[in-house]
């Protein structure tokens, strides 16, 4: 993350504060992970995904291209000492899980929206799954999406995002009609480096790495705070987990601290 105050069409780049640590006065500590698993699973990788120090309140994990296995159970085995599954929203290979403190029963709503068809043996379903949750007085919405691939399909991805957003926030009545105080988008958005001249990018990678497509930051975590809300958010870290090698995608992890301002 850059510390420049850069903006583009309403998107703002913000500074990461105190990487890897939460604020002492946080009302709610949230760890968010997105990962395209490429149809493979490793219990060791899932343990690394969760991390050794589980000092967060909520753990949100959005997965794409999930293989045919019970990922929720595998994750719960890793978190058995500290957290339990609060909610899940699953649409074939697109899956979203929210884990929280044991013996806690928050208000949960779930939804899913398809924007494409099936593909391949691992059921590459395109679209979005969502979970809304009220936790410690803060209303949150998490949206995990997997959009169309390939650099030429920019407008198709834009249309899919508009469809998902309209489906979630414009229909009445639905659990998302009331504005959340914070909305988090995560997933394999598949936006790529544009332009015909991709040779500078290719020259930055090893000569013996024979990739078909130019590497891009397709996996992202974005968040939005409601302007009229009473919640502040601090981003403490935003990183890829480069030590996980079972997929051609690297997991992306963010740590957020939320606190009420009033």
CB pairs under 8 A, 24+ apart, for 168-177? 168/111, 168/113, 168/128, 168/130, 168/141, 168/143, 174/111, 175/109, 175/111, 175/132, 176/109, 176/111, 176/130, 176/132, 176/141
CA 224/CA 218 separation, integer angstroms? 19
pLDDT of residue 219 exceeding 70, the answer is: yes
Specify if 28 maps to a domain: yes
pLDDT at 121: 35
Specify if 164 maps to a domain: yes
Residue 72: domain span? 18-260
Residue 50 near residue 72 (C-beta atoms within 8 A)? no
pLDDT of residue 10 exceeding 80, the answer is: no
Specify if 183 maps to a domain: yes
Specify if 160 maps to a domain: yes
Look at the block and give the residue holding tokens 């990183």: 239
State pLDDT tens for residues 54-100. Answer: 789 999 999 999 998 899 999 999 998 889 999 899 988 899 999 99
Specify if 71 maps to a domain: yes
Specify if 7 maps to a domain: no
Tokens at residue 184, please?
Answer: 């988090």
Per mean pLDDT, which of 172-186, 198-212, 239-253 is the most reliable? 239-253
- The CATH number of whichever domain residue 82 belongs to comes to 3.60.10.10
Helices 71-78 & 43-50 angle (0-180, nearest 10): 60
Give the side-chain half-sphere CA count within 13 A for 47: 7
Residue 85 near residue 104 (C-beta atoms within 8 A)? no
Specify if 11 maps to a domain: no
pLDDT at 134: 86
pLDDT at 136: 83
Tell me which of 37-46, 101-110, 136-145 is least confident: 101-110
Specify if 13 maps to a domain: no
Count of the separate structural domains present in the chain = 1
């Amino acid at each position: 993350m850059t510390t420049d105050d850069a903006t583009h069409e309403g998107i703002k780049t913000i500074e990461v504060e105190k990487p890897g640590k939460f604020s002492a006065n946080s009302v709610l500590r949230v760890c968010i992970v997105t990962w395209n698993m490429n149809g493979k699973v490793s219990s060791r990788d899932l343990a690394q995904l969760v991390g050794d120090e589980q000092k967060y309140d909520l753990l949100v994990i959005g997965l794409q291209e999930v293989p045919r296995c019970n990922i929720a159970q595998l994750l719960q085995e890793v978190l058995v000492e500290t957290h339990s599954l609060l909610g899940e929203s699953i649409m074939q290979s697109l899956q979203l899980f929210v884990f929280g403190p044991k013996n806690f029963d928050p208000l949960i709503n779930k939804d899913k929206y398809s924007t494409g068809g099936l593909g391949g043996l691992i059921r590459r379903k395109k679209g979005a799954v969502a979970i809304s949750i009220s936790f410690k007085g803060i209303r949150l919405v998490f949206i995990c999406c997997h959009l169309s691939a390939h650099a030429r399909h920019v407008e198709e991805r834009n249309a899919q995002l508009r469809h998902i957003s309209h489906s979630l926030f414009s229909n009445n009545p639905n659990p998302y009609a009331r504005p959340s105080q914070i909305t988090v988008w995560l997933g394999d958005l598949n936006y790529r480096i544009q332009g015909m001249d991709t040779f500078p990018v290719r020259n930055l990678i090893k000569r013996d790495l024979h990739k078909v497509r130019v590497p891009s930051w397709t996996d992202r975590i974005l968040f939005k705070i409601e302007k009229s809300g009473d919640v502040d958010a601090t981003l403490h870290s935003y990183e890829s987990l480069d030590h996980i090698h079972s997929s051609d995608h690297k997991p992306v992890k963010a740590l957020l601290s939320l606190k009420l301002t009033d």
